[in-house]
């Protein structure tokens, strides 16, 4: 398959997607394109930054995540306007 044929096939597939699938594909595509720079960015981080990221990932893997909605709910309860 030539480059032009591949582009056309991809376009046709994308063109047939509904809105939610199109948004999902866009996110996947952006992640793919941006991942090419991730290794260089990782290498430029300070050691303390790398350790913090690795610790956060370990917490997620251990099921210790705190969801955004939970944090927002707690903050609203604590700082409710009276």
Would you list the domain boundaries of the chain? 3-78
In this prediction, residue 82 carries a pLDDT of 55
Buried b (16+ CB within 10 A) or exposed e, 39-67: eeeeeeeeeeeeeeeeeeeeeeeeeeeee
pTM here is 0.43
In the predicted model, is pLDDT for residue 81 greater than 80? no
Q: What is the pLDDT of residues 6-63, one digit of tens each?
A: 999 999 999 998 888 899 899 888 888 877 666 778 888 899 999 999 999 999 899 9
In this prediction, residue 19 carries a pLDDT of 85
């Amino acid at each position: 398959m030539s480059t032009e044929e591949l582009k056309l096939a991809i376009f046709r597939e994308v063109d047939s997607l509904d809105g939610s699938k199109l948004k999902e594909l866009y996110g996947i595509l952006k992640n793919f394109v941006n991942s090419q720079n991730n290794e260089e960015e990782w290498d430029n981080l300070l050691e303390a930054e790398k350790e913090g990221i690795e610790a956060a990932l370990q917490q997620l893997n251990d099921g210790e995540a705190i969801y955004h909605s939970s944090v927002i709910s707690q903050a609203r309860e604590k700082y409710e306007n009276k």
